[in-house]
Structure 1
Amino acid sequence: MNRLTSRAIRRFALAGALLCGALVAHAQTETPVGVWQTIDDHTGQPKALVQISADANGDLSGKVIKGLGANDQPDRRCTACTDARKDQPILGMTIIDSMKKTSDGWDGGHILDPENGKVYRCKMHTEDGGQKLVVRGYLGISLLGRSQTWVRQQ
């Protein structure tokens, strides 16, 4: 093989590797898997970091990994919870469970609001190339709920 052919093969391989890396990065940002900064509905200030991960079936769950601002108290507990999370530390608590991929996002799961202890049905989808996550908690039908927009953390 001459030098010109060898150089062309290396360039082609490098271009392919870069393209594959870009496609993988794009696919990762289009899913909710990752760390998200939640925003307080009342103050508009950052509230917590939630890590969303997928299990072997592809179902998503999310847990609180850090409180922010006034919520940065490692000993805070879910005193308002009425299920097995009653009086458990909020830090490390799973607040999102059983989210399944649908044609327009993820649905079928539940989300806990540790402030009031209520569990809501949940649906979510990404926006802005996967940099924002719109999370909707609702009772009964999706019209009876509220949405929050979370911001992806690097």
Structure 2
Amino acid sequence: MRNFKILAALLLSSSSSAVFAEDIAGTWKNIDDKTGSSKAIIEIRQETNGTYTAKIVKVTPRPGYTAKETCVNCPAPYTNKPILGMDVLKGLKPAAGSNFTHGKIIDPLSGHIYSMKAKLSPNGKRLTLRGYVGVSALGRSQTWIRND
């Protein structure tokens, strides 16, 4: 019986460390899926309800691109709000393994809001986000690279 308790304790501790390994909180470089250059630095934080929220903490200058300062085409409550400091991702929930689901993400350049899901790479350095309308197959993916 004692050996069983020790084995159970070891299994529980190893599974809880796997949960911590799947944490996506921190800062990330938002990589443009069309150009491959960094668009912004994003800070992901875990909310008290266990979901994740992300805000833009720095807009990265890119050659030939003039950064927008406000979210002009965005729906309320984002309309005319500064892009810097904006919560662009909300409600992302941990799912099985290294997957996250049920998030919403806004593209502050177009004003479109998308459903989204994400997957953390095995080494925890890349977060692949899939934004979509309706079904995931009709969306687009973007990779964020851990910055911290």
TM-score normalised per structure 1: 0.77
Shift in Å, 1:43: 2.1
Asked if 1:33 is matched to 2:25, the reply is: yes
CA RMSD across the alignment: 2.2
Match of 1:111 in 2: 105
CA distance in 1, matches of 2:40, 2:21: 20
Q: Which residue of 2 aligns with 1:79?
A: 72
Q: Quote the Cα distance in structure 2 between the aligned partners of 1:133 and 1:81.
A: 25
Partners of 2:58 and 2:20 lie apart in 1 by 22
Deviation, 1:39, is 1.1
Structure 2 unaligned runs (5+)? 1-12
* Secondary structure of the corresponding residue to residue 123 of structure 2: helix
Compute the displacement of 1:80 (Å).
Answer: 1.4
Supply the distance in 2 between the matched residues of 1:123 and 1:108 (Cα, whole angstroms): 6
User: Which structure has the greater CA radius of gyration?
Assistant: 1
Taking only the aligned residue pairs, the percentage that are identical comes to 34
Cα displacement string for residues 11-49 of structure 1 (whole angstroms, at most 9, x for unaligned residues): xxxxxxxxx9xx96x765532111000112332111101
TM-score normalised by structure 2 residue count: 0.80
* Bigger mean CA deviation after superposition, 42-51 or 132-141: 42-51
2: CA distance between counterparts of 1:31 and 1:88? 29
- Is 2:94 the counterpart of 1:101? yes
- Name the structure 1 match of 2:5: none
Length, aligned pairs only: 131
SS at match of 2:131: strand
Counterpart CA distance in 2 for 1:148 and 1:129 is 17
Which amino acid in 1 is paired with 2:90? D
Give unmatched runs, 5+ long, in structure 1.
1-19
Q: CA deviation at 1:122?
A: 0.8
2:100 aligned with 1:129, yes or no?
Answer: no
Alpha-carbon deviations, 1:50-102, whole Å to 9, x = none? 100001121101000000013795x7111110221111100000000011111
Distance 1:50 1:65 in 2: 6
**C-alpha distance 79-102 of structure 1, shift in aligned 2 (>3 A):** same
- Indicate if the aligned counterparts of 2:117 and 2:130 stay in contact, CA closer than 8 A: yes
Structure number having the greater helix percentage = 1
Supply the distance in 2 between the matched residues of 1:127 and 1:72 (Cα, whole angstroms): 32
